[in-house]
Structure 1
Amino acid sequence: MRPVPHLHLPHPNPRLLRRVPAWLRWLRQKVRGSEFSFIALAIVAGMAAGLATVLIGGIARGIQHILYGLPADVRLSGAEWLDPWRLLVLPAGGAALALFTWAVRARKRPLVDAVEANALHGGRMSKADSGVIAGQTMLSNGVGASVGLEAAYAQVGGLFGSLAGRWLSLRRADMRVLVGAGSGAAIAAAFGAPIAGAFYAFEIVIGAYTPAAIAPVAAAALAGAQVSQRLGEVPYIVHVQPGPAIHTFGYLVYAGLAAICALYGILIMRAVTLVEVRARASLPGWARPAIGGLLLVPIAAWSPQALSAGHSALHIDMMSALPVAFIAGVLLAKSCASIVSLGFGFRGGLFFASLFLGTLIGHLYADFLALLVGFPILDPANAALVGMAALAVAVVGGPFTMAMLVLEATGNFSLTGAVLAASLVSSTIVRELFGYSFSTWRFHLRGETIKSARDVGWMKALTAGRMMRRGAATAPAAITIAELRRRFPLGATSRVVLVGEDERYAGVVTIAAAFAEGVDREAPAATLAHATDAALSPDMDLGVVMKAFDTAATDELAVLDADGHVLGIVTETYVRRRYAEELDKAQRALFGEE
């Protein structure tokens, strides 16, 4: 049976339901009630995601080849040299991106990606938002900005899952699984790594390892990888020969590399934010990408490896014995290029850039240790792969995703153990010192509270306006306690909301307090009022309401409109009970229970 949702969608209009073809109603019932049918739907979404990944990658590379005059077998970051006049594509491309953004942006609100859709919107993704994100990412990558295409892959892949779920009117939990399956399939197709793609879906897009989602997500990832392979797409994954086995001492040494990668990842994320804030404050939006492209020109002139996502550059640097000074220079150039690209408004992500930078840090770490002690301690290839995973975990998140990516690249279980240990060290340090991945950090900067794709949308939907009890007993604040007793004898109600002469809220009085011994019956009722300065607005979500109760230290709070008039009242007991009920529903949906 499919998981029970924790929020019920509105009942469909019977008249509209009759217009739905019988075959579609049958299909909806089949998918909603059958695990096998749901897995088949996930496979279809995964195949569509794999096809979209191939198309998006092909379009971006085609733009690069045309604009930079590259040979057919050379990618931008793998070019030995670029014509200086060709580098003017960067500022021109930035201007084209600004024009594209102006032309397609129909609204001012931030675009919703797959992670936010699963965290806040129950897996509902916008076709318009997804089209804009994919277009901006392809254009940014195509003109050579130092951004990856993984954001576009995951966005379009997740969109296919979301559209399938909406078309069949699936439950909230199923929608979230399909979005994760589509995004994971897209990553699996790009890297030729279905296991890593499945873990990407769980760790990054769904936000949990859900037993009910294992089969559909894994099937979708396999389908996406197979479609990409059948179409002849060259995967991003780096296949290297297994290095020497890693023992206990090696784990300890790699923990140091993980710590360095964690700190470097935090530095990169902070730097992107700082540059973006400064650029927004001093430059108009239409000029930022063009100026950013202009700043990329001298970096690209020094080394084309700093451009685009860096797939070819990673392959070259992994397979070649390069001087330490050159590796350090590429690390600095790629870091600056990524910071400038994202800070000045190019669209994309740091997924592959973090993989590339991690390999460089790992290589430098192995070389530094060898120089320090006089003989090699770490295998440079192993160190590069451990650094790759550790930095990617620091920036993107997903320790098991990166561990599986290395396992599928090398088949070396000993190395995978070291990668997993380093990934966990890196993840722990970032959570302790920073608390966010790159995507959730950007959500934090615009005021969202989410730290993962874990479903918190039900908390946002459960507002004070929905939980309040209307028709609360009210009385003028100026009446005496004796009059309050007369109007509301014991047992009539438990609390009364006081209002002023202008009908504005003035506090809450418990009837038991009014009948307590020693109370001056001629005193105003307002002398017994509590929570006079604490109240709720109807749009406050469950999390904010619970914090308000903790701050006010009271058992009940009034809900007020914008003018301070009383709409209803909410008790802490009821709020806590609703929270427990919804949390229990979420847990049952998580484990696929009725």
Structure 2
Amino acid sequence: MPVVPGILKILDKTGFRLLILAVLVGIVAGTGALAFYFATNGVEHLMLGQLGNIHPPLEGRPESSFTQFINQLSMPFRWCLFLIPALGGIISGWLVYTYAPEAEGHGTDGAIEAFHRKGGTIRGRVPIIKTVASIVTIGTGGSAGREGPIAQIGAGFGSFVATKLGLSVRDRRILLIAGMAGGIGATFRSPLGGALFAVEVLYRDPEFEHEGLIPSIISSIIAYSLFGAVTGWKPLLTTPAFRFEKPGELLLYLALGVVCALCGVVYVKTFYGIRDGFRRLPVPNWIKPAIGGLGLGILAMFVPQVLGSGYGWVQAALYGKVALWVMLVIALAKILATSLTISSGGSGGVFAPSLVIGAMLGGTFGATAEILFPALTQDPRAYVLVGMAGFFAGVANAPVATLIMVSELTGNYSLLAPLMLVCVVAMLVMRKNTIYEKQVANRFESPAHLGDFVIDILEGIKVGDLAKKGRKATQIPESMPLPEILNRIATAKTAYYPVIDDNGLMTGIFSINDIRRILNEDIPPTLVIASDIATRSVISATPDEYLTSVMKKLTDRNLDEIPVVDQNVPQKVLFMLSRRTLLAHYAEQMEKTKEVYKE
């Protein structure tokens, strides 16, 4: 084992250490994505297909028979549908709240919190419990996606590797991001989108964790390649040959962006409102996902389209096979279904449900636009794809990653201009609205980067800049006896007192603690003079020094105050600078920087 750290040190000197580890993280993330994919499909086939006799349309299959699905609703055994999600909820709830309570809800938030507030640390058991619980939740019809669990699988392994190898907190955070990117890039067959999502979703403002971008790209490429080699290379969804050839149609897309933002607010408020309601229920936590599952099952008796990921219905809408009113009903019901599944404590991601909601909203908007503005609407089905991206970009505050991911998972890049417009508008209209409550506003607000800004601010300020905030030194002549010293310092505002010679130059310094030490000794006060009390080794600063240097001096010697001296005449005291003054000035500069950063 000692060989591994040695190799890593050599790689670190050449800048390749994190890149090599990103490859390893990508392999594990891709393998985890494959295991999760097949396990979820297997459980779903057993529970919904065999037991519930429900076979929704499939993604990537435009020829799927949607009429056949409707006919299934009158077939025998449909009455048990409302029990299947409840069964999944009780199993998932027991697993999560027994072994890893932090695995409840949508896993991406857990990874975001670990990055910002836990030094990139994720408990080893969390990804395992999250995986099993999510397989059960999604496989039994829960309205949840694969992005959250797979993000936590990859992030958890990245954290594990960094911890075992004794890497720094910074490196552990970067590998956590790389793990997220690998899992998401593989699951959604979106290598670039997965990498960008991992570095963008951490913040509410347009911000990227740029240090993690290259490792994320490498991890995502490896995971995507591994996943594609087993499952195939076709995009997750197929689309007609959409084209954007009417610039005037951008007005309609602009309106769609606003609609996505407003509906996103409804989604987030419903999601967290139901979560708060479940938290107030006077029942054990592990029972709550079962209650949410039961509510989902009852809803599915009336709107069965809410079961599972719902990608098949997006596929249907992309080919114009879903009626306007049906799309609107699915969008609203899916908001409620997702909230019942995940907000109750169930395990799964919010990415897939958000895409379905956005697709149905876009489809509804496009069909309505074709009725009201037929000359302006080129193809109402295109609004399904654009709405899918715009809605999630608005609730996740990740416009760049989302538009790339949607383009990759549909294999359609012809609508980039409308996608860019709608994603940006959806995010800007409701800036503070987010489905990921663990996001922070920007790097300035992240505890992970607090040290960066502390260093930046202190390095930019010189001691001389604080001259007006310094205090006039209370200087004591070397020959002054102790009784007179006590009278002079009685009204002084400083904590340390320079001792000066006949020329006014400092020869030493003492503090109030030094006087207490003398008073405790059996020496007549009149026989003690200032030079007897003073320390000859004086720690001082000059006006040209930066505050980083002064702060280090104060901290290393545990001083509360330091004399600032003339750099040409080191014994001439100009003023006294206290630790409190330095920190107050730092806090003031932090606030100013914060305001500028927000602008």
- Does TM, normalized by the shorter one, top 0.5? yes
- Counterpart of 1:151 in structure 2: which amino acid? G
Aligned-residue offset at 1:55? 0.7
Change over 3 Å in CA distance of 1:31–1:134 after alignment to 2 = farther
- Residue of structure 1 equivalent to 2:278: 279
Answering whether residue 245 of structure 2 is matched by residue 250 of structure 1, we say no
Residue of structure 2 in register with 1:356 after alignment? 356
2:144 pairs with 1:123 = no
Q: What amino acid does structure 2 have at the position aligned with 1:573?
A: L
Alpha-carbon distance between aligned partners in 2 of 1:337 and 1:361, rounded to the nearest angstrom? 16
> How big is the alpha-carbon RMSD for the aligned residues of Structure 1 and Structure 2?
3.8
Q: Which moved more, 1:355-364 or 1:291-300?
A: 291-300
Displacement after TM superposition at 1:265 (Å): 0.9
Alignment of 1:457-536 (within 5 A): 457=448, 459=450, 485-487=488-490, 492-493=495-496
Report if the CA contact (8 A) 2:31-2:223 is conserved: yes
| Conservation of the 8 A alpha-carbon contact between 2:207 and 2:442 | no
Deviation at 1:58, TM superposition (A): 1.6
Map 1:262-411 → 2, pairs under 5 A: 262-284=261-283, 285-375=285-375, 377-409=377-409
Structure 2: which amino acid aligns with 1:276?
R
| C-alpha distance in structure 2 between counterparts of 1:75 and 1:165, whole Å | 43
Q: Which moved more, 1:364-373 or 1:230-239?
A: 230-239
- Trace 1:413-452 onto structure 2 (pairs within 5 A): 413-431=413-431, 435-439=432-436, 441=437, 443=438
1:564-583 mapped onto 2 (5 Å cutoff): 571-574=580-583, 577=586
Q: 1:121 to 1:279 in 2, by over 3 A?
A: closer
> 1:94 corresponds to which letter in structure 2?
G
Partner residue in 1 for 2:156: 159
Distance 1:334 1:242 in 2: 28
User: Do residues 93 (structure 1) and 88 (structure 2) align?
Assistant: yes
| CA displacement 1:105-158 (0-9 Å, x = unmatched) | 478999982111111223222212333333332222122111112110000111
Write the letter of the residue equivalent to 1:91.
A
Q: Residues 49 and 182 of structure 1 are in contact (CA less than 8 Å); yes or no, is this contact kept in structure 2?
A: yes
Indicate whether 1:52 and 2:47 are aligned: no
Q: 1:239 to 1:409 in 2, by over 3 A?
A: farther
Q: Distance in 1 between matches of 2:260 and 2:445?
A: 26
**Aligned residue in 1 for 2:20:** 40
How far 1:230 moved relative to its partner?
Answer: 1.0
Distance 1:356 1:107 in 2: 26
Counterparts of 2:487 and 2:389, CA distance in 1:
68
Q: Which moved more, 1:137-146 or 1:257-266?
A: 137-146
Identity %: 22
Cα drift, residue 363 of structure 1: 1.1
Moved more, 207-216 or 237-246: 207-216
**Which structure 1 residue ranges, 5 or more long, are not aligned?**
1-20, 468-481, 495-554, 557-568, 585-594
Contact in 1 for aligned 2:240/2:318 (Cα 8 Å): no
Q: 1:170 to 1:195 in 2, by over 3 A?
A: same
Q: Match for residue 193 of structure 1?
A: 190
Q: 1:168 to 1:191 in 2, by over 3 A?
A: same
Does 1:145 pair with 2:148? no
Q: Is the 8 A contact 2:366 2:381 kept in 1?
A: no
Offset, 1:234: 7.4
CA distance in 1, matches of 2:487, 2:359: 75
Contact 1:262 1:391 in 2 (8 A): yes
Distance 2:168 2:55 in 1: 43
Compare CA radii of gyration and give the structure with the larger one: 2
Cα distance in 1 for partners of 2:327, 2:338 equals: 16
The CA deviation string for residues 220-260 of structure 1, in whole angstroms up to 9 with x for no partner, is: 11111101011126777323233122443222220110110
Q: Counterpart in 1 of 2:132?
A: 135
Query: SS of the counterpart of 2:296?
Result: helix
Count matched residues. 467
Q: 1:561 maps to what in 2?
A: none
AA of the residue aligned to 1:95:
I
Q: Any idea what the Cα deviations from partners look like across 1:69-115, whole Å, max 9, x if unmatched? A: 34999865755536222431122222222322343147899998211
Could you tell me which residue of structure 2 aligns to residue 456 of structure 1?
447
Question: Is contact 2:444-2:450 (8 Å) kept?
Answer: no
Residue ranges of structure 2 left out of the alignment (5+ in a row): 59-68, 459-484, 498-559, 562-577, 594-599
1:395–1:96 distance in 2 versus 1, CA, 3 Å: same
**How much does 1:413 deviate?**
4.6
CA contact (8 A) 2:104 2:347 kept: no
Q: Does 1:219 align with 2:199?
A: no
TM-score, normalised by the number of residues in structure 1: 0.70
- Partner residue of 1:171? 168
